[in-house]
Structure 1
C-alpha cells in the first residue's frame, strides 16, 4: 500500500495529530491511527512524534499504512439475521447481547466470528480483529449495521459516515416524560473525567455530537422516542438522553438502577440508509422492533410497570 504524504494547512494548526490524521485518513479508525503514530508509521517532517503532538502549518506528514495482517480470528457457525447481502456489503440485524468484534479476553461469539463463519471476503482495512466493521452498535443495543466486504466498499461507507450522509434512526424507551414533542441535542461528547469507561457531555477532548429526537408515545413514567443520529459518537444516544434528564431504560451505566426489566438498554437501530458503494443507489433498510422492547411497550400501555 503506497505511503500518503500530506501538508498541514494553516486552518489545521494546533490540532492534535491523532485528531488531524483521523480527519485526513477516513478509511482508518482513530484507534488504529493512534497505534500507527506510536509505532512510528506516521512521521512529521521525517520524525516520529507522540499522539499529543500539535500540528504546525506546513508540517509534512507521511503516513505509512502497513498491509492488513492475515485474519486469525476464529470463524464460528453462529446464526445471523442478514437483511441484505451482495458482493460489496452486508446489512445485519444484530441481536441484543452480541458483541460486534473480538477484543482481548473476548475472542469468541462476536458478530465478526459469525461473519467469518458465513463468508471470508471481508474488508481487511480495520485489521485482524475488526474485518469489515465500518461502524459499531453497543453490545446491549439491537438493530442494523453495515459491513464492508471489500476495501473499496469500506472506504465509501466510512466516507459517508464522516460526511453525515448515512441515515440512522433508533427507537428507545427513556425514563421520565419528555415535555417537548421533538428537539435537537447539540452537545460535545468525550471521555468522562472520573470514569474513563464512560462518555459524557464535556468540552474537554470532546467531539461534536448531534442527536435529533421525536416523541412517539408517553406513559406514566416513561417515554417512547425516535432518535436520529447526525453524528455517531460512542454511546451518543445514551449520553445525550441522560444529559437532558431522560436516560434510557435498562441502562444503569448512565441512568438509575431501578428500571424496566430488559437485558440491556432499550435501544434499537431500526433504520439504516446509505449509498451503495458500487451502484451509487441510495438504499434504506428497516429492522422490526425486537420482542423484548415490544413486551415493554405492551406493559407500559397496560400499566403493568408502575
Structure 2
C-alpha cells in the first residue's frame, strides 16, 4: 500500500468545466510534478510549464541559465512539491497561458498496486478534456459563450499521427466524460518529458538524422532509459552485446526517420517504445 498526496487543479477559465484531482507519489521535483499535471490534462508538451506561488516563480533551468531574472525566481530542478506550500498555480505555455489554481487536499490517497512499480501520478477525478494545444483564446471564447459548441478545432494537421485520445474534434466534445482508469503515469514516460527541459544532451528527434551520430546517442541512453535497457537485457539473452546494441540502435533510427522534422516528440517516443517491444 502506497500513500499519495491529493491535489486539486482548477482552470481559471472555467473551474467547474475543467478540473482534475491528481494523486502524487512522494515529494516529486517540480519537473516531475509538471509532467504529471500535463499528462492528466492531455497535454502535448509542445511548450514549457512552470509554477508560481504568491511571491515566487519556479522556472525551467534553461531560462535561469540563459537569462537574468529577479531574485524571486528559482530553478525547478532545485525545488519540490513541498516547497510550493498548500496553494500554488500551474501554468502551461507562456504565450497561450493555460493557468490552473492548485490546492493540496488534506486527506491522503492510498493505492495498492499488483505491479512491481508504483505510478508516480494517478488521476482520481476530473471534468473537461484538458488543454487544447494552441487554442487557448478560442477555448476562452467557448466557455464564455462567444462561439458555437460545434466549432471545429484545427489541431491534427500539425501532428497527423497523434492518437485520438489526444485530439479534440470540436468544442462540443470537450465536456464528454473521460475514463480516467488508465490515467496512471510511470517513471519512464515522465522521464521522457522531464529530459526535454534540461540543457544537457538528450535525444533530440529533430536534429538527429545522421545514423552514426544517432548510434552514439542511443549508446549513451541504453542503460539510463528503462525501455531501452529492458530491451537490451531481453535481446542479450539471445545475441551478443554488440549485436543487441546494433538492433536497438537501428530500430530506433529507422522508426524516428519515418517522422517528419518537427513532429511531436512524445508521439515519436511512443512509436519507438512500441517497435522496441516488437524486436526479436
The answer to whether the superposition gives a TM-score over 0.5 is no
Q: Which of the two has greater helix per residue? A: 2
Kindly indicate which of the two structures has a greater share of residues assigned to strand.
1
TM-score, normalisation: structure 1:
0.30
For normalisation by structure 2, the TM-score amounts to 0.32
Structure possessing the higher relative contact order (Cα contacts under 8 Å, 6 or more residues apart): 2
